[in-house]
Structure 1
Amino acid sequence: MKLLLILPLCAVFTLTRQAPSPNPKCACQVNNSEKEFPHDKLRAVERNTTNCNKNITPQKTLEMESLLLGLERRLIQLHKDVSVLEREDDGEMYGVLSLFVIENEMIEIKQLIDKLNSTTRDNRRLTEDTSQELTHLHAEMVEMEKFDTMQVVRGRQVNKRLKSDLKVCKSALNATAAPTVPPQGVCSHGRLRNVTGPRVYTAGEYAGSYSYGAWGRDPRPQPGKESWYWRVMMTSSNKYANYVRLYSSLSALIIGVSNPGNVEISSSNPTTNTIQGPNNVLYGGALYYNCYNQDSVCRFNLTTKAVSTLKLPKGTRYNSKANFCNLDECYPFTDLDLATDESGVWVVYTTTQDFGNLVLSKVEEGQPPTLGQTWRTSVYKQGVSNTFMACGILYATRFVSVEVEEIFYSFDTTTGRERFNLGIFINKMSRNILALNYSPVDKMLHAYCDSYMVSYKLLFL
């Protein structure tokens, strides 16, 4: 009996001695059969892609298109002038004046072609370098797709395609016929339907300088000046200017050759008759603008150099108290916005009586000009980034993003109808549009954007 009792006790003692320690340590060894993902290579691809995006921009394409458009316009004008010269041939001698005009045009065409060739060479070199880089990037991405063993990326691509197809199906299912809209405005082509472009994108001769300003064409040019363009730059603190700069053609403006040059309003700046703010227009050989330190419109005749003044109603806000604004800031000294269309000159402003809402008045020609019919709107001026007129209709824009501006509002002076849901978008080339001018001559919208001159084509119903 004693022997049988001793054996279990020995067994218990042995098990107790072999029990694990109170703080056990466990180590696992994992063998990964997959290759290590090349994170360094992915970061290199991302850097190269970013560099490609910086080098290839819409501005470079538009620069070429602007040069080509300028050359096309100049060649058409040259053909007309040569035809005039041929008619002046009396058998022995050509018209000296016509020969001089053609000589100047040939010089301008040569300058334009030289700039076009230089730009073409730069773009060709950039295209070749980018093409090689894209080929390399494509090969790198194909190689890295092999690490997607669980098909995550491919699954996302399939889902994206399915969502796109579903969206197209829904759009087709919910499509309805557009309602019939009665004719609007005071001219035959009706309401604005869309904005395309840009067609022209150029800095002229002052690349990166003079952020504020305006440019465009004279809707009622003087004889012999039908192809001229004008530009006003705020040369003093982005607020004031004392001259208007003229160009004999679009190609001259693009390559930055000002002929006949500047027409000076006053010798100093700012002072009496100085241009205040960027929202100016040229009409009938006269520049209309906000007079310096006044709630008035000035009319400067480019030929006689005479300035006449139109006083606006009592309570008109001026001196940067009722500016156009974007989401983050307001544009200084944009209290008054001058505009032109098929019928003449207009002025957009606001008064204390209208609680900051837009007011539109027709400017009637005369010496001095007078204020015609006035319309009051329901849109708050500081909720607007710019305005322009077309066919007797006031259009207002607002800032959407760095790349997009929206024409969201219209006021028809014929019917008095307001619309707040136009939804017409402008593709911007830079953040800010400081001035918008409509040219009924060619139905172009001329925008001044952070020192660049940009034009868009307006499409009407």
Structure 2
Amino acid sequence: MKLCVIIPLCALITLTQQAPTQDQCLCDLTNSEKAFPHDKLSTVEDNASKCNSNITPKKTLELESLMLGLERRLPQMEKDLSVLEREDDGELYGVLSLLVIENELTEIKQLMDKLNMTSRRHQHLTTDTTEQLEDLRVKMAELQEYDTLQVVKRQQANQRLKRDLDQCKNEHHPTPHPTQPPQGICPHGKFVNITGPGVYTAGEYPGSYKYGAWGRDPKPAVGKENWYWLVMLTSSNRYSNYVRLYSSLSSLIVGVSVPGNVQIHSSNPTTNTVQGPNVVLYGDALYYNCYNKYDVCRFNLSTKTVTTMQLPKGTRFNSKGNFCHLDECYLYTDLDLATDESGVWVIYTTSQDFGNLVLSKVEEGEQPKLNQTWHTSVYKQAVTNTFMACGVLYATRYVNKEVEEIFYSFDTSTGVEKFDIGIFIRKMSPNIYSLNYSPVDQMLHAYCDSFMVSYEVLFE
């Protein structure tokens, strides 16, 4: 019975497929909507991308840095003039003071010229960008006419509702302050945050020297209170044989080095020259990792002499105990020198400590030596940088290309460690190769991919 039904059906299908089609039905589809102009949308996207690349935070900071340099330079000029008026003897002293003031005027003029040039460039950029944005606004309004289903309008309404909802939540649940590290006796109070950057400059050699360090001397010699120093690793991004000095912040920003270089040795590298970017200047002497040794060298800028201080046996050196993050290790950062209100510190690691950070206080004197030493439980290669402030060691880690986090602290007065500091640094370049805290003005000086950047350290 079933077989009889199946056979006629198969035959019917076969006959139907073979039968020629006698009638054909054709339909014309008429679209009343205008064709979407994809080429116009592509042009708008390209123009928007150009606007984003032209207007960057770096350009704003360039102008702010120049303004800051001028702001700090003018009061110094006024101070020097008042001293001259008060103490001018009409003879040699007056001549020398006038020469100093003449040099300061030259530096201020160079700073103002650069400021005027930068301002004009920014004005042209602002005008051009305003015109481009207006053109983009008109074109986007034209393209929105093709949104017959009003998808864009609904998305914009949803975004407004989400923004209002977030604002309402934040009003009822304020953002908590980051956990603060325990503090010893600090004249400024508790360390609470980092703001900035305040200074952002390429200096004299834009993009030339990737690794380096800069800052101020917390214990300057007489007459050098306003000086800044710079050490660039000029040989293979590993070594240097001189420190470069600037008579003011504005001089550093515009790239006028007076008095210039103070040379450690004519060869680079060689015995007792600089290895690695983590150096500091304290008491008119440069402290750094000696070339090819696990020693700390101290180079006296006045006498041009070098004294060395040996670290414990097993100290890792020659790029065996670097600062690191997941994607990169910073070469020859085995030893990190730091300064704070109390003097010079050295941060390193040893085989005995299984790679954890070790902190030692440097005792000053004719022959520097290690004083008290502390052992921490934070692994050095999980850290990207360290600095000291008020006897507390702080460590940073890499979050992403834009952000660095101060995540760890060790208080030498109590021995208490904290791993949840949660203070963030807004970076201007992906990598910070050195961090130096200046107790003179509570600034944090960072050297980032050949750029010099400073941040203000805020205390409660």
Normalised TM-score (structure 1): 0.92
Q: How does 1:261-272 map to 2 (within 5 A)?
A: 261-272=260-271
Between structure 1 and structure 2, the one with the greater Rg is 1
Name the residue aligned to 1:69.
Answer: 68
Q: How does 1:249-288 map to 2 (within 5 A)?
A: 249-288=248-287
Greater shift in the superposed pair: 221-230 or 172-181: 172-181
**Is the 1:446–1:453 Cα contact (8 Å) retained in structure 2?**
yes
Cα distance in structure 1, aligned partners of 2:263 and 2:25:
89
Q: State the Cα distance separating 1:35 from its structure 2 match.
A: 1.6
- 1:29 and 2:28 correspond: yes
**What SS does the aligned partner of 2:329 have?**
coil
- Cα distance, 1:180–1:237 mapped onto 2, change above 3 Å: closer
Name the residue aligned to 2:125.
Answer: 126
Q: Deviations over 1:1-51 (max 9, x none)?
A: xxxxxxxxxxxxxxx99x974799765432222221111111111111111
- Cα distance, 1:94–1:294 mapped onto 2, change above 3 Å: closer
- 1:338 and 2:311 correspond: no
**Is the 1:319–1:335 Cα contact (8 Å) retained in structure 2?**
yes
**What SS does the aligned partner of 1:279 have?**
coil
**Is the 2:179–2:420 Cα contact (8 Å) retained in structure 1?**
no
Name the residue aligned to 1:117.
Answer: 116
Q: Deviations over 1:326-358 (max 9, x none)?
A: 221101000000000111111111111111111
- Cα distance, 1:176–1:150 mapped onto 2, change above 3 Å: closer
Name the residue aligned to 2:106.
Answer: 107
- 1:149 and 2:183 correspond: no
Name the residue aligned to 1:401.
Answer: 400
**What SS does the aligned partner of 2:194 have?**
strand
**Is the 1:183–1:190 Cα contact (8 Å) retained in structure 2?**
no
**Is the 2:179–2:421 Cα contact (8 Å) retained in structure 1?**
no
- Cα distance, 1:183–1:334 mapped onto 2, change above 3 Å: closer
Greater shift in the superposed pair: 432-441 or 160-169: 160-169
Unaligned runs of 5+ in 2: 1-14
Cα distance in structure 1, aligned partners of 2:345 and 2:333:
15
Name the residue aligned to 2:186.
Answer: 187
Q: State the Cα distance separating 1:417 from its structure 2 match.
A: 1.5
Name the residue aligned to 1:4.
Answer: none
Name the residue aligned to 2:169.
Answer: 170
- 1:388 and 2:387 correspond: yes
Cα distance in structure 2, aligned partners of 1:436 and 1:398:
12
Q: State the Cα distance separating 1:410 from its structure 2 match.
A: 1.1
**What SS does the aligned partner of 1:112 have?**
helix
Name the residue aligned to 1:206.
Answer: 205
User: Counterpart of 2:422 in structure 1: which amino acid?
Assistant: G
**What SS does the aligned partner of 2:252 have?**
helix
- Cα distance, 1:153–1:182 mapped onto 2, change above 3 Å: closer
Q: How does 1:80-99 map to 2 (within 5 A)?
A: 80-90=79-89, 95-99=94-98
Q: Deviations over 1:193-228 (max 9, x none)?
A: 111111111111101100100000001111110100
User: Counterpart of 1:400 in structure 2: which amino acid?
Assistant: V
**Is the 1:66–1:199 Cα contact (8 Å) retained in structure 2?**
yes
**What SS does the aligned partner of 2:119 have?**
helix
Q: State the Cα distance separating 1:148 from its structure 2 match.
A: 1.6
Aligned residues: 445
Name the residue aligned to 2:160.
Answer: 161
Greater shift in the superposed pair: 187-196 or 229-238: 187-196
User: Counterpart of 1:211 in structure 2: which amino acid?
Assistant: K
Q: How does 1:353-392 map to 2 (within 5 A)?
A: 353-392=352-391
Q: State the Cα distance separating 1:286 from its structure 2 match.
A: 0.4
Greater shift in the superposed pair: 88-97 or 393-402: 88-97
Cα distance in structure 2, aligned partners of 1:125 and 1:86:
43
Cα distance in structure 1, aligned partners of 2:152 and 2:403:
31
- Cα distance, 1:334–1:223 mapped onto 2, change above 3 Å: same
Name the residue aligned to 1:424.
Answer: 423
Cα distance in structure 2, aligned partners of 1:176 and 1:241:
45
Normalised TM-score (structure 2): 0.92
User: Counterpart of 2:458 in structure 1: which amino acid?
Assistant: L
Cα distance in structure 1, aligned partners of 2:22 and 2:443:
82
**Is the 1:190–1:391 Cα contact (8 Å) retained in structure 2?**
no
User: Counterpart of 2:433 in structure 1: which amino acid?
Assistant: L
Unaligned runs of 5+ in 1: 1-15
Cα distance in structure 1, aligned partners of 2:179 and 2:319:
41
User: Counterpart of 1:35 in structure 2: which amino acid?
Assistant: K
Name the residue aligned to 1:58.
Answer: 57
Q: State the Cα distance separating 1:92 from its structure 2 match.
A: 9.0
What is the RMSD computed on CA atoms of the aligned residues? 2.2
Q: How does 1:244-323 map to 2 (within 5 A)?
A: 244-323=243-322
Cα distance in structure 1, aligned partners of 2:187 and 2:263:
38
The percentage of counterpart residues that share the same residue type is: 70
